[in-house]
Amino acid sequence: MATIFTKIINGDIPGRFVWNDDTCIAMMDIRPLHPGHLLVIPKVEIDQWTELDSDTAAHVMAVAHKIGKVMKELVPCERVGLLIAGFEVPHVHVHVVPMQTMAQLDFRNAEVSPRADALDDMAESVRGALKAAGHGDHVPAAGPL
């Protein structure tokens, strides 16, 4: 059965996309640990990051790096952290999280009901920042892919 991420990538479930290329997508997390928290997800449905081929793993990290750089400028934060856990969904995903402290990487503190307009606004800001940074070829319009 397809994971929820595959369903989102395929357009069966809506997502707030900020990046789309042949290998991966990035979208806003619907349970953010901090404003700006998003996920970079390979399109291939693989459970654990250690099972990714090295080219896909490197590409996902390169995209997370590009997004992290613009996020650092966009969201007031001490650092932009990365986390690969994989327990919530059996489909590799890298959490890119603007944060002030390590405590903000605790999923028990995730916002369970963020405002849709706040997520939409952040997605639009990230898309704009990525375009301004020269990544417009991979920035989708708002809405489904």
* Rg over CA atoms, the chain: 14
The pLDDT tens digits for 61-106 are 999 999 999 999 999 999 999 999 988 899 999 999 999 998 888 8
Structure tokens at 121: 């606004």
The rounded distance, in Å, linking the Cα atoms of 60 and 48 is 13
Task: Report the b/e string of 83-109 with b at 16+ CB within 10 A.
Answer: ebebeeeebbbbbbbbbeeeebbeeee
Catalytic residue positions, numbered: 93
Residue recorded with tokens 């997508």:
25
The pLDDT tens digits for 3-61 are 999 999 999 999 999 999 999 999 999 999 999 999 999 999 999 999 999 999 999 99
Q: Look at residue 141 in the predicted model and tell me its pLDDT.
A: 86
Helix%, strand%, coil% for the chain, nearest 5 = 40, 15, 40
What the chain holds in terms of domains, given with CATH numbers, is 4-132 (3.30.428.10)
Q: Any residues with CB less than 8 A from the CB of 71 and at least 6 apart, and which?
A: 36, 38, 77, 80, 96, 98, 126, 129
Chain-centre distance for alpha carbon 31: 12
